[in-house]
Structure 1
Amino acid sequence: TGARSRSPTPSLSSLPEDAPHAKILRLLRVLHKLNVIEAERPEAVKRSLPESAFVNNKLTAKLTRQLEEPMIVASQCLPDWALDLPQHFPFLFPFATRYNFLQSTSFGYARLILKWQSQQTRGQDSSRRDDGVGFLGRLQRQKVRISRKHILESAMKVFELYGSSSSILEVEYFEEVGTGLGPTLEFYSLVSKEFARKDLKIWRDEDPLKSGVHVFHPHGLFPAPISPEDIANDGGQKRTHIFRVVGQFVAKAMLDSRIIDMSFNKIFLRLALGEEVVLTLETLKLVDADLANSLEKLRSLATVRSSGDKMHKVVKDQVNIEDLEVDFTIPGYDIELRPGGKDLTVTSDNVEEYIHEVVEAIVGSGAKLQAQAFREGFSKVFPITDLQAFTIDELVMLFGNSDEDWSPETLSEALKADHGFNVESRAIRSLIEVMTEYDAPSRREYLQFITGSPKLPIGGFRGLNPPLTVVRKPHEPPLTADDYLPSVMTCVNYLKLPEYSSKEVLREKLGVAMREGVGSFHLS
């Protein structure tokens, strides 16, 4: 409940076909699509407009005003235009407004009321606050207790049982006293890593020889092809089942506003959303650039050979395409592209067929079942078609792979000093300087220590709720502040920091706490 049913292509009840403004909107949609294509071109010089050029500020303000009335949204009384425009012409609205629309119309009645209540609490205008509305939204909590030694197995079971439930999932660990937000955020972080394990053999690994337990995926996670034997045995169910759970996991994280740490390939996300993907080497480059470049070289060899006797004689002394002994199997996998493919050599006559079949086997049919399973799992929580209001880059950000702002200005604004500290305290200034100097791995460690997740939520440090709070940790004589380590309350993003004698001591002690304080939740 709480959202009008939204199909992928509902009729535009607010836009008659022959209305002048409808024609203008359709023209804008075409222009926006052309602009997106131009922006995605690999050339260095792009002639595309920024996304903000298409945003209509008046419509944005009007839609925001509609979404501020929870009773209108919850009772499904939004005007037709407020449902039609964000779905069919999302470029008219900035990301924040579209995300607000998704939360208001797709996440259910109870979450809508709680979201509105939270905004009222944070807002300064108490004259419009209605404390009675809070009783209208009762959100159930589902607590589960799992073993750290069997994170993946536990996660699979948890999402099979409760993945489609509308209740908020809370996780605790056996033999640990920690409860609430901290352990739950860490659970989502740990499971994100577990799903990218090499031994699952469900993702492409661009460097199988690279050490480590997780796949190497600089272009984002993309499914490994499923062999015909697996499809013949059980229709690929065993291999696709985990993709179904991954889909549920991602959707549940969005529903509960949990941060996940999964970097999906943009082409895979297009396939999961049901978008059309052109089967070309340019598309393959976005999945595996090295393989695409190798296939281009193979094509150039065949082209040179067929371009004339004189040129052919020069090249023949160097290399023949047949000498490479490439057969009709998927590169890197023992899977035939066609029956008898292992015994069929690639020649200058059939090289185009080979290239087409490789691209089809990786980006086309090779990822179709996995994308479909992800889509089915996701839609058990809320319809994946509701994500069509977002660009692929925005979805990559939503799923936990966004750039983060760690500038001193942002940190100073977002950090709340309290109980013994203020914004001018030497310890606070030193902490901000240390945080600013962190490299990417140290940032992940710091966030894992403070919040339970290695990534910031949407909105960065400003999006932390409650805000990051730093308080003074007292010391007892004869010990000094330098004898203590910092401690945290991850559930409320709360750092207890001793007033160290110098910035160097602060950096050292914080580093020790970050390394030793992860992996369990106990009383501080």
Structure 2
Amino acid sequence: MEFLKDLAASLRSARTVELPKDEKAAFYMLMSMVIGNQYRSVSELLSNSKFDVNFAPGRGHRNLLHIAANCGSYDCLLILLKKGVNVNQQDVSGCTPLHLAARNGQKRCIDKLLEYKADVNIRNNEGLTTIHWLAVNGRTEVLHDLFAYVPDVDVEDAQGQTALHVACQNGHKSTVICLLDHRADINRPNHNGWTPLHFACSHGQHDSADILLRKGAKFVTDRFGKTPLGLCLEGGYSETCSVLLQYVPNLMEHLVTSVRSEKIKEADYFKVLKHVCSQGNEVADRVLMSLSEEASMIGHNLLSVSSNVEIQVSCLLKCVKVLCKLYSHVYQPPPSPTTPTTPKGLQGVMRVSPKATQVFGPLEALWQLLADWLCLLKLEFNKDNNQNNKDNNKDNKSDSHNQDSKEHTQSQEQTQENSDTPDTASAIVGRDCNQEVDPRSCDQEGILKSLCVDQDVVGVILPRICGVVHAFYICCTCQHGHPQMTSPRFIEFVCQHNKELKLLVARSPEVIFDHFHFLLECPELMSQFLHIIRAQPFESRRRWFYDNLDTEGSNREIIHSPPNDDDVLVINRERMFYSSCEGLIKQPLDKLKRGLAIRFQGEEGMGSGVVREWFDVLSREILNPDYALFTQSADGCTFQPNSNSAINPDHLNYFRFAGQTLGLALYHQHLLNVYFTRSFYKHILGIPVNYNDVASIDPEYAKNLQWILDHNIDNIGLDLTFSVETDVFGAMQEVELKPGSASLPVNEKNKTEYVQLVTELRMTRAIQPQIDSFLSGFHEFIPQALVQMFDEFELELMLSGLPEINIEDWRQFTEYSGYDENSPQIQWFWEVVEGLGQQDRVLLLQFCTGSSRVPFGGFSHLGGGGGPQKFTISQVTYQPQLLPTASTCINLLKLPEYPSKSELKERLMVALQCGSQGYAMM
């Protein structure tokens, strides 16, 4: 009968009427009911059971009272309390049911727990009490009722933090006020010395900071010297900083000097100062003037040679960048659409405003000190040169008759090549860039005192001077007020100290990449340092190229992110060329720079793999002879613009599209499986072509030009004039090489000019419209100032990557002249080649053949001037310091008989780095 009664009760309630005998099973059955506050079921099950209500299974060690308090199940909580549950039982983290109810703001549960003598002073494992939990989550309404049970409102957790600390950190205004009204200690420090104001400022809680300061909080430092203002600056909390300055005005000085802190990022610092300056021009002027004075002090410390150079340079640049950005924000607002964009001023020079003179005035002393240092360095350089001249004179007297005339000639040529040449910057500023400045006019007394007698002056001061030059450029650009024009004052400075700056850079070339970013923005100055830049390692220049490629900070990695549908280029595979051209034209440049997403029509695939495929297929399609844009060169591997491309009426638009494609690929670092002639890469780089480049399109004609240069042509009956006949769509036309020169005869004196002009006609003039259109598209993505850092071989590597070179295949199809395969020099040569990295192997291939590309079929298919031409190594008589040379048209390497493998390797690597290649006759 009892069984039937229990069965009926179970079926009516849709649950069992008894708890399982196993306490763990019983606990989990009750837990789900407690969470749902099913108090009647819980009450019935507990009434007929011996279940221990203090049972706390699992890793959490929480009993049912913890569960009820945490979920706010008030009715279940009351039942458990009546069953005698331990009201202060702690779980694995040390939390009591009261802690959990306080954390979640369960007011009714808290009241009932307190009624059953819950202890408000129990700490969890982190030292948090009930009042801490209420403050953390801003439970102000509950907090009021708790103070009657709290003997000490400033009770601390394990880190010495009070409820006021955590309330300020989390920005609970009403809780902060409530705690202060109940006499919480407003200046109580934690174990690290952080007061409530520190906590408010560290999280940008400006309302809490305002309450604290209004109630009399003190501005103090912690145990490690950190202040509330410093914490605001580190977080970029501009409004909180303004609150601090409002109550403690003398913090302005500390605000400015904080620019020296390495922990404060430039962007956060600027954000704060920008907000401060928005309070009015008077405040802005004060901030700007103070920053200018601070920058001057940092710069003077930097040039005193007694400071940490890296830290001081970083601080100086951060200070002047923030100064200039603030000045531009306050006094140089963006022009309206109706504002003329062309600066007004005498001869294009924009006048510096009186406000700029005032703001940047404190820095003038630093710029003068910079000039003084450069004058001192001029003295040092002159002294070294004089000493070297004396030593050379002694050597010349003792060994004048044994001087090698050939080496002397080479030395003269090298000196002439490295000598300074005036450039167009002198026209801008009205002075010669090589104009001498009298070093004796500089004030050196103070400078010399700062150095020990035995110090390396140049080595010590070099990075410091470069940092100050960088800062000077930033300030000049800002004062000039027109970013499209380089500051005439800065150009004048560089021209005035041209020699010293070049010598500094020559001593430590990496400073160009660290501090001389201004070169990219000023072609006049870039031309002065270009030879030094090009002498730097390829990888360093490549890194600098991509670091400066996008000055506006576009994230090229977005190419891998899921794009919007509007950003996807949908390409028709059947019309690859035309479809791609139409798609690129429709897309804004900034979108193409930010990312590139391709989807082929009718296909679902998308991502970087599809983009790579598109570039690969499209680059080959651009070379398709059906479009008549490019023609294959004599080597069968490379291409150049077709002089007869006008047969296609839209050829110039398509050349612009081809330039966009290559520029876009280079911008996003996608390699293309196409190779162009060396002369075309030169056109992209702005490097003049020479007669050697003719070999790529007409090897025999190149040999004829070489013959003219190598022989006296007077009185041999060539009857050449400064004009040539060209075939234009089947009709022969006479073209003058220069105006009015059709009857000017070519002789021994002017033959060099003739060769250069006829080279320019074949390689440049004949395809000038095509080149111009291509470059107009290419430069939309790749600025000329950046790409000119590379030579034609390096540009090919950046566009097309490093091809795989099979050394065994290379060696198998190599011939020898004067050597044989068993000669020591040949054995050493191949051992050296085996040890080269892939990049150096490519450089060697370029050096010897003029191309980094191995033709299809391998080295057995290398092409030369008259057809197939195997790679050949020719013997040359050994002379000290003699470098290997090459005749690229016939794939010939001229290798001296070096006496050792080490010297062969050293001389070969020097030749590869110097790029000593050219066309030569056999």
Q: Greater relative contact order (Cα 8 A, min sep 6): structure 1 or 2?
A: 1
Q: TM-score per shorter chain, which class?
A: 0.3 to 0.5
Q: Rg: which structure is higher?
A: 2
User: Normalising by structure 2, what TM-score?
Assistant: 0.29
